[in-house]
């Protein structure tokens, strides 16, 4: 099975080559290879657009080569999500592949059974993150800067230019241009977006502990907030999902003023959106309402619980999806936005920066107490989104 070559291949570093050699050893273990073959046997034959799934009949060698090419792959403005999308097809509605990537245990390099494949993917993500922090990652930066969708005029360009793709990816807004004016900054009843994002679901009547099926599209709030005592505040409340796509500005902000009473980073998985077609398809549907959102309780994430003056508690939960290598807190008045359990609260104003993601897919989930926020409402003339071109030709073209 061939993997499509690109003109973006950059030689692997010694550390990358060492990791590829390690993956080869893992995949040569008959037990690991058998688990991989079991996962491949359950791959869906076709993806959402009707094309053949590239993972049908994949071999252990294909798996290794895929990561080998992914290591130094660089995204382009017209390239969508690059290597991320095809990889989701491996575990699309495929519990065997999900288990292989995240929970399967083997003992190739030690006498103890460990999640060797998961552990390797974490090392891959960290090493790829170092590459995205390097000057070698700038190969297509001019294309990004010139792309109209970037709106680079809204951002600060460092003197001498960006030093890496991640520096561009985590670019800061230019306050001199006021590119994201905060609506009604002194009115606590007006909620603002936490990030440049697309809202793709609103759930109500949240539950604390019940694990519900795909069709119900609900969340286990206690697990999502990692067992925090504040989870109980959101029972019966509302959740809003805001998806950040790769071209977006990737810093997230406080949607309301108040005090951060708890801010914690939670380790978790990096791959495994079981219905990835609904998230990462060719038209960037970014999670339609049939998606199984409960998976995000298992992903690498942070959460910030903000106590407002009159509108109860609001939680902001940044979730790092595929190949997110790091999540960084911000400083507000020289204090970290991460507040340990029982720590001293940190005052924030609406629009204050809470943190940012390194390269990859990501989203914010916002939680509200019961009766506080039940619908998205906008004023006439407010931005609803950006228009594209029709994907279906007119039935009766003009003559």
Of 128, 325, 19, give the one whose Cα is nearest residue 27: 19
CA-CA-CA-CA torsion sign (175, 177, 182, 184): positive
Place of tokens 């406080």: 254
pLDDT confidence of residue 389: 76
Distance between CA atoms of residues 217 and 203, nearest Å: 8
Secondary structure class of 186 (helix, strand, coil):
coil
Angle made by CA atoms 18, 21, 27, in degrees to the nearest 5? 145
Of 328, 323, 329, give the one whose Cα is nearest residue 360: 323
Distance between CA atoms of residues 302 and 227, nearest Å: 13
Distance between CA atoms of residues 296 and 317, nearest Å: 10
Of 82, 22, 34, give the one whose Cα is nearest residue 60: 34
pLDDT confidence of residue 201: 75
Distance between CA atoms of residues 61 and 86, nearest Å: 16
Going from the C-alpha of 322 to that of each of 22, 94, 159, 280, the distances in angstroms are 21, 17, 31, 11
pLDDT confidence of residue 140: 94
Of 204, 271, 279, 206, give the one whose Cα is nearest residue 244: 279
Distance between CA atoms of residues 237 and 368, nearest Å: 6
Which tokens is 331 given?
């400083």
Of 134, 133, 102, give the one whose Cα is nearest residue 119: 102
Of 59, 65, 56, give the one whose Cα is nearest residue 32: 59
Render each residue's pLDDT in the chain as its tens digit; 399 residues: 545 445 457 999 999 999 999 999 999 999 999 999 999 999 999 987 789 999 999 999 999 999 999 999 998 888 766 788 789 899 888 999 999 999 999 999 899 999 999 999 989 988 999 999 999 999 999 999 999 889 999 999 999 999 999 999 999 999 999 999 999 999 999 999 999 988 877 788 888 875 443 333 457 899 889 999 999 999 999 999 888 877 789 999 999 999 999 999 998 777 755 444 444 433 344 444 344 444 456 678 899 999 999 999 999 999 887 666 678 899 999 999 999 999 999 999 999 999 998 877 688 999 999 999 988 898 999 888 877 778 665 555 554
Angle made by CA atoms 5, 9, 14, in degrees to the nearest 5? 130
- Are 165 and 139 a contacting pair, CB within 8 Å? no
Contacts of 51 (CB under 8 A, 6+ apart): none
Contacts of 276 (CB under 8 A, 6+ apart): 85, 88, 89, 91, 92
pLDDT confidence of residue 276: 41
The whole-model pTM stands at 0.86
pLDDT confidence of residue 80: 61
Distance between CA atoms of residues 18 and 15, nearest Å: 5
| CA end-to-end span of the chain | 47
Question: Diameter of the chain by CA atoms?
Answer: 75
Going from the C-alpha of 193 to that of each of 180, 304, 316, 333, the distances in angstroms are 10, 15, 11, 21
Beta-strand ranges (E) seen in the chain are 198-204, 238-244, 251-253, 258-266, 301-307, 313-320, 327-329, 331-332, 335-336, 346-348, 353-357, 362-368
């Amino acid at each position: 099975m061939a993997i499509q070559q690109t003109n973006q291949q950059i030689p692997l570093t010694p550390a990358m080559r060492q990791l590829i050699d390690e993956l080869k050893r893992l995949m040569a273990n008959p037990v690991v290879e058998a688990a991989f073959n079991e996962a491949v046997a359950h791959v869906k034959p076709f993806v959402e657009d009707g094309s053949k799934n590239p993972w049908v009949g994949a071999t252990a060698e294909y798996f290794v080569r895929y990561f080998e090419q992914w290591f130094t792959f660089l995204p382009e403005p017209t390239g969508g999500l690059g290597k991320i999308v095809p990889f989701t097809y491996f575990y699309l509605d495929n519990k065997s592949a999900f288990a292989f990537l995240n929970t399967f245990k083997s003992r190739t390099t030690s006498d103890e059974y460990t999640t060797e494949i998961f552990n390797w993917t974490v090392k891959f993500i960290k090493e790829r993150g170092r590459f995205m922090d390097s000057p070698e990652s700038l190969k297509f930066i001019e294309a990004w800067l010139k792309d109209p969708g970037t709106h680079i005029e809204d951002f600060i360009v460092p003197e001498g230019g960006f030093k890496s793709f991640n520096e561009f990816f985590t670019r800061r807004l230019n306050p001199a241009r006021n590119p994201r004016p905060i609506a009604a900054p002194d009115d606590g009843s007006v909620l603002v977006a936490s990030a440049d994002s697309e809202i793709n679901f609103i759930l109500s009547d949240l539950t604390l502990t019940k694990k519900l099926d795909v069709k119900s599209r609900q969340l286990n709030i206690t697990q999502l907030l990692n067992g925090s005592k504040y989870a109980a505040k959101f029972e019966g409340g509302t959740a809003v999902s805001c998806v950040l796509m790769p071209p977006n500005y990737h810093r997230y902000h406080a949607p309301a003023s108040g005090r951060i009473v708890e801010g914690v980073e939670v380790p978790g998985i990096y791959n495994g959106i079981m219905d990835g077609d609904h998230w990462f398809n060719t038209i960037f549907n970014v999670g339609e309402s049939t998606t199984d959102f409960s998976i995000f309780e298992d992903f690498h994430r942070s959460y910030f619980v903000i106590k407002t003056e009159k509108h109860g508690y609001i939680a902001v939960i940044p979730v790092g999806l595929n190949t997110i290598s790091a999540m960084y807190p911000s400083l507000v008045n020289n204090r970290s936005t991460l507040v340990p359990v029982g720590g001293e609260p940190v005052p924030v104003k609406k629009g204050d920066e809470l943190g940012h993601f390194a390269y990859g897919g990501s989203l914010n989930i916002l939680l509200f107490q019961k009766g506080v926020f039940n619908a998205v409402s906008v004023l006439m003339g407010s931005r609803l989104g950006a228009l594209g071109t029709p994907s279906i030709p007119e039935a009766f073209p003009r003559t």
